[in-house]
Amino acid sequence: MKRRYENMDQVSTKSSLADFLRWWKESSVKEKNVSWQMPVEKHPDIAFLQNNREIPTLTWIGHATFFAANKGDEYTYRSYLDQMAQWL
């Protein structure tokens, strides 16, 4: 029996080729809103991020990983870590 792709959390899709083509057609006519873009700091102030204890910060590290700091508490959030933690 042919198996379908399944994410690590056992979520699978039962979409057909027709569903995909319908989605593609709908999404290709929508215009992306580029009136505002997230500012990017190409040269972050590492000393500030390491020593900051006053200003809450949220730093995007890459892909789905964020670093949050607030009043001396520091957190790293990786959206897929919950499922992978059992492997670590």
pTM above 0.85, yes or no: no
Q: Where are the beta strands (DSSP E) in 29-81?
A: 57-62, 65-70, 73-78
User: What's the pLDDT at 47?
Assistant: 92
Q: Per-residue pLDDT tens for 62-75?
A: 878 888 889 888 88
Query: From edge to edge, which strands make up the β-sheet containing 73-78?
Result: 57-62, 65-70, 73-78
Q: List the structure tokens of 85.
A: 């933690």
Residue 38: count of CB within 10 angstroms of its CB = 5
Query: What are 4-8's contacts with CB under 8 Å, separation 24+?
Result: 8/80, 8/83, 8/84
Q: Per-residue pLDDT tens for 14-63?
A: 778 898 898 888 888 777 777 878 778 888 888 988 888 899 998 888 87
User: What's the pLDDT at 88?
Assistant: 42
User: What's the pLDDT at 80?
Assistant: 65
